[in-house]
Chain A
Amino acid sequence: MEIITLLLFIFVLAAFLGFELIAKVPSQLHTPLMSGSNAISGITVVGAILTIRTGSDGFSSWLGFAAIVLATINVVGGYMVTDRMLGMFNKKK
């Protein structure tokens, strides 16, 4: 129970922080901000890695494998696309 309380504590603080971070963002940056934060949501790749243990049965390993592939696409693709977009904003400055 103690761990759950601690995790919920982290959750609540992170939620407030997330709200505060995005208070004033110019609308031209909405698209890169969205795709950049979308890449962060690929953090679930860490969870996917941890589900694949030696001695896991085949089925859950394959589920985890699929999760890793999908989350990695999200992460790698998300960061690269964001970088490409932002490169276009920056090149003229």
Chain B
Amino acid sequence: MENLVNLTYIAASILFIYGIKMLGNASTAKRGNMISAAGMLIAVVITLIQQDLDYSFILGGLALGSAIGFIAAKRVQMTGMPELVALFNGFGGLASLLVGWAEYHRVVNNAFAFAADVDHFTAAVTVLAILIGGITFTGSIYAWGKLSGKFGGTALTFKNQKALNAVLAGGIILAGIIFALAPNTATAYPLILVVILLSLLLGILAVMPIGGGDMPVVISLLNSCSGLAACAAGFVIANNVLIVAGCLVGASGLILTVIMCKAMNRTLSHVLFSGFGATTQCSGGTSTGEMKPISVDDAYYILEAAKNVIIIPGYGMAVAQAQHAVKELGELLEENGCEVRFAIHPVAGRMPGHMNVLLAEADVPYEQLVEMDDVNPTIEMVDVAIVIGANDVVNPAAADDPSSPIYGMPIINAHKAKTTFCLKRGKGAGFSGLENALFTAPNSRMLYGDAKATVTGLVSQLKG
């Protein structure tokens, strides 16, 4: 029996590996996801046939979780995807924390132990599962709140924040070591509760000072963490499929995070510890000019005459759900004899590849999507660059203002186009709270208002 279970776990692991590999290629991605889901299914089913399980709890939990997951996945709008992934991720982390806790509780109460008592190694990995799971949970929930606008998007810092985080981390490590040295004494149980509490607190405090364009990196890193938490939980119960799958997610998530950091020309530690966007900007980029508004009618005349247009979407397009209107605008301009391209910055939106997902939803032809490096060399030839709800990824300060927090990040050089239209809800600063010199540049015109309404206005002008 034991052998059958382990052999099935090996099969499941193979399916996960193939699944992840196929997810990395556009033509096989959908099948890859199915294969990985099949791996999950057989791993769960083979686990259920083991003896001594209390099925009323287990089947009830599986049914309830499936129902909630099903409804959430069906209902979510494509634009709300980053938040939902963050939320799911947090749940995974909390589940790993609870597995560590439940297993310890069960063993110390000596109900049905794998071993007579808890050894040092098991105690140590229990602490790890709780620590990583706890940080993943509250960190993801906080990220979810930031992304959905519930907690405000900007970075929050306060005095001695780093010191507090260091003290917290030190406290967790200390409590964890004392716990692991003597996991079977009466004082051990309160210690594990301390670790749980401090880990949950640390998750919030660690994500708090990160904001703006760095959120995609945070989500990716937390995804990696939830894998590592599952992996640690696997060590707690000595289960190889948890270790393999968890570790695969942990390692691949980490690589993905590093790839994203490179796209922003920053290091991971800089993202995590620099308090992005919270630095009060004192440079003079704000006073160089005024924002010049333009009406939809005037914008239409310029667009009608344009021969070469690029559209630069950002999170604002997602918020306004403007992707379908944007696609229609692109089509009409093409009919008008204009070349239309969509320039996608690698970290536009709140998740890596966020804009690609949205534009794919709206059926924008894949050939029209171009990457930053392909657009920038020819940007001077562009008649009109339409910036739809993007901000940091077109902020020239990243190129020429060393005091800016985003200095050094590669941007789409929208300010070098002949004319730039910026669709924006109001005059305020963006998600990251930075001023953007693009909006006050001489060749920039502001189109205020809801992005969808503005684009729809342009569309009806072009039709009429």
Contacts and interface: CB of A to CB of B under 8 A. Distances in A.
A66 B245 contact: no
A17 B54 contact: no
A18 B109 contact: no
A2 to B, nearest CB: 11
Contact of B95 (A42, A61, A92): A42
Contacts of B243: 7, 10-11, 14
A87 B371 CA distance: 22
Interface string A15-27: 1111101111111
A44 B65 CA distance: 13
B88 A38 contact: yes
Interface string B63-106: 01110111011101010011011001101101110110111011
A53 B52 contact: yes
A11 B352 contact: no
Given A27-B263, A79-B40, A55 B111 contact: yes
B94 to A, nearest CB: 5
Contacts of B344: 27-28
A57 B111 contact: yes
Interface in A21-44: 21-44
A59 B337 CA distance: 69
B225 to A, nearest CB: 9
A47 B47 CA distance: 9
B251 A18 contact: yes
Contact size range, A: 35 or more
Interface of A: 3-4, 7, 10-11, 14-19, 21-57, 59-93
17 contacts: A21-B20, A25-B256, A29-B24, A30-B256, A31-B85, A36-B36, A41-B223, A43-B40, A43-B246, A44-B92, A44-B99, A45-B65, A50-B53, A53-B111, A74-B95, A81-B84, A88-B357
Interface of B: 16-17, 19-21, 23-27, 29-30, 32-34, 36-37, 40, 43-44, 47-48, 50, 52-54, 57-58, 60-62, 64-66, 68-70, 72-74, 76, 78, 81-82, 84-85, 88-89, 91-92, 94-96, 98-99, 101-103, 105-106, 109, 111-112, 121, 219-220, 223, 226-227, 229-231, 233-256, 259-260, 263, 344, 346, 351-354, 356-357, 360-361, 363, 365-366, 369, 371
Given A19-B252, A56-B54, A77-B88, 13 more contacts: A10-B244, A18-B251, A21-B248, A28-B356, A31-B82, A35-B85, A38-B88, A40-B20, A41-B246, A48-B99, A53-B52, A72-B66, A84-B73
When A and B form their complex, which 10 residue pairs have the shortest distance between CB atoms, in order from nearest?
A72-B65, A18-B251, A68-B61, A76-B69, A77-B69, A30-B352, A80-B73, A63-B102, A67-B98, A28-B356
